[in-house]
Amino acid sequence: MSAPVWLLLRGLTRDGRHWGDVPQRLAKALPPGAQVVCIDLPGNGALHHLRSASSVAGLVAQARAQVAERGLAGRPVHLLAMSLGAMVAAAWAAAHPDEIAGAVLVNTSLRPFSPFWQRLRPRAWAPLLDCLWPGTSAEGWERCILGLTSQLAAHQPEAPALLRQWTDWRRSHPVSRANALRQLLAAMRYRAPHRAPPVPLLLLNGAADGLVHPACSQAVARAWNLPLAVHPDAGHDLPLDDPDWVVAQVVAWRAGVR
């Protein structure tokens, strides 16, 4: 049997670099032979020059095309995905369950299980509008995102260096406001099926998420009868706030569903 592949998908305007060292940590923790691959959605990261899809179905098609281009099709694919990336993972597993061996969904929110004011908390509306406003600097954008998505790492001594790194990434691989809006539109329009995709699924959630209300993960867990692991202190960017916890949850869950 072919060695399994873990595909890592980030969310709105983020790319594979924003996983930090989670890919390396996960690769070390998984059984020998497992491959960990980060892919960028078009419009982000290495693909920042391409047009983002404005629907989750379109983002799924773009992600599947990358799998084929990398020669990974036909191998057991597991997904670790957060936020918008987790919507893509859920839609992918629902539409093509034969391609997905399992998925871990981090701090996501899904219609019809949660109202819009939980899926994007009102406290985040004004900062996000400021980010998208013409003239916002790369540093201003990244400072806003760090403040909205982190409850732990943002307050560590390393935070200024992290902010400089993110700013450099945005300057070298700028995400256009048009692509950011298309991704936001895709997230807003996506409607998940009432029944869970027929593949093993795990939900991870940060109880201190300031961007997406933690009740959204709870609602998905109830609707789809899924296991949910909650970090008591982490924010929206769980892999940033506590990468060890994320990796430990993924590995323990995967060992239990084999």
pLDDT tens digit at each of 258 positions of the chain: 578 899 999 999 999 999 999 999 999 999 898 999 999 999 999 999 999 999 999 999 999 999 999 999 888 899 999 999 999 999 999 999 999 999 999 999 999 999 999 999 999 888 888 877 888 899 999 999 999 999 999 999 999 999 999 999 999 999 999 999 999 999 999 999 999 999 999 999 999 999 999 999 999 999 999 999 999 999 999 999 999 999 999 999 988 865
* pLDDT (0 to 100) of residue 113: 97
CA distance linking residue 208 with residue 210, whole number of Å: 6
How far apart, in Å, are the Cα atoms of 13 and each of 5, 9, 114, 162, 175?
24, 11, 23, 17, 6
CA distance linking residue 137 with residue 177, whole number of Å: 12
CB under 8 Å to 248, separation ≥6 — which residues?
29
* pLDDT (0 to 100) of residue 3: 81
CA distance linking residue 127 with residue 193, whole number of Å: 31
Six-digit token string for 46: 């290495």
Q: What is the pTM of this model?
A: 0.96
**What is the amino acid identity at position 33?**
G
CA distance linking residue 10 with residue 22, whole number of Å: 12
How far apart, in Å, are the Cα atoms of 134 and each of 108, 128, 150, 195?
28, 12, 24, 41
